[in-house]
Amino acid sequence: MNDNNKKIAFVSGGSKGIGLAIVLKMLDENYQIITCGRNIDAWNRAVAENPRLNEVDFIKTDLCGNGQLNKLFAKIKKKYGRLDAAVNNAAVQILAKGQFTDISEDILRKNLDCDLWMPTMCIKKELELMLPAGGSIVNISSISGVIPTPGAAMYSAAKYGLEGLTKTLALELIDKNIRLNTVAPGAIMTPRWEKRVQEQDREETFASVAAAIPIKRFGIPEEVANGVLWLLSDEASYVIGHTLIIDGGISLRGNV
Ligand SMILES: NC(=O)c1ccc[n+]([C@@H]2O[C@H](COP(=O)([O-])OP(=O)(O)OC[C@H]3O[C@@H](n4cnc5c(N)ncnc54)[C@H](OP(=O)(O)O)[C@@H]3O)[C@@H](O)[C@H]2O)c1
């Protein structure tokens, strides 16, 4: 499976939504891809719908806590020896929703762990596998990491943190031939949204969200993946610590 002419890339959370669209586009660009998720059934469903995903190395892993993250990167190191590219995309459903004052410390902590500490530890391990040759990393942030998001304060704080980490590391690593950037999506139609509206009137909720977006529709995962692929590529060789907002105009209004 390890063809030395291929760029080796890790994409976290490639079984669904934005991560799946990124993996499919990276296959078109001839990357050797390693991805992960907690649920093997979700991955098997994706492979059944897109048989070319058989070329992708899926390693069942919960990146949030309990030491599985280190094991995943040890496996990548043993099998491939290096990484040329990485996309830190995986994130659980927003955990701490509602008024900050009403949310328990445990939930706030878990939200921070999964939305900031988890990608932080991935970046640390990815850098070990990119040095000294260099590489390109794209972190999936959110417009909640660029503008305040009442009702999701901890998620917003975690994504602002990811933005700050990316920009700072982009400068720290600029002379090591490693570029780091973020993509900040707005409302993108993925399984995450399907879960979010489970207990509401689906069509009505989707229509009211779409109506509030300046472009009057949700984004699709491929529209985010296009930006990620460009930032990863040599075409973006002079782009350092940038936030590429892909949100149909939401952030221009200054609120979510
Ligand atoms: N969709 C949006 O509107 C939107 C907007 C702004 C930002 N974003 C950001 O875009 C990224 C992707 O979102 P999405 O909407 O595509 O989400 P999604 O549809 O829920 O997919 C998330 C992916 O991550 C994996 N994952 C979740 N938790 C994991 C864990 N602990 N360990 C390993 N893998 C895990 C999931 O697989 P398993 O469930 O099998 O683990 C799945 O493959 C996230 O960083 C999110 O914050 C999304």
Whole-number pLDDT of residue 3:
65
Is the pLDDT at 199 greater than 70? The verdict is no
Name beta bridge partners: 180. 137
Work out the pLDDT band at 237, boundaries 50, 70, 90. Answer: very high
Q: Provide the sign of the torsion angle of the four alpha carbons 118, 123, 125, 126, taken in this order.
A: positive
Structure token pair of residue 17: 């939504």
Name beta bridge partners: 60. 37
Angle, vertex CA 129, rays to CA 127 and CA 131, nearest 5: 65
| Domain positions in the chain | 8-188+221-247
By most ligand atoms within 8 Å of CB, the mutation choice from 15, 20, 113 for ligand 1 is 15
Whose C-alpha lies nearest to ligand 1, atom 25? 13
**Per-residue pLDDT reduced to its tens digit, 169-194:** 999 999 999 999 999 999 999 998 88
Place of tokens 């590391």: 169
**Per-residue pLDDT reduced to its tens digit, 34-61:** 999 999 999 999 999 999 999 999 999 9
15 lines ligand 1 (CB under 6 A): yes
**Per-residue pLDDT reduced to its tens digit, 140-168:** 999 999 999 999 999 999 999 999 999 99
Phi, psi (degrees; rounded to nearest 5) at 40: -70, -30
* CA 115 distance to own-chain centroid: 10
Phi, psi (degrees; rounded to nearest 5) at 72: -60, -50
Residue (of 170, 43, 168, 68) closest to 121 by Cα position: 68
SS3 state of residue 97: coil
Give the whole-number percent of the chain exceeding pLDDT 70.
Answer: 97
Strands 57-60 and 85-88: unpaired
From the alpha carbon of 12, which atom of ligand 1 is closest?
34
Strands 85-88 and 178-185: unpaired
Q: What is the CATH number of domain 8-188+221-247?
A: 3.40.50.720
pTM listed for this prediction: 0.97
63 lines ligand 1 (CB under 6 A): yes
**Is position 160 annotated as part of the catalytic site?**
no
Residue 209 to residue 169: CA distance in whole angstroms: 35
**Per-residue pLDDT reduced to its tens digit, 98-144:** 999 999 999 999 999 999 999 999 999 999 999 999 999 999 999 99
Question: Would you say 89 and 22 are in contact if contact means Cβ atoms under 8 Å apart?
Answer: yes
62 lines ligand 1 (CB under 6 A): yes
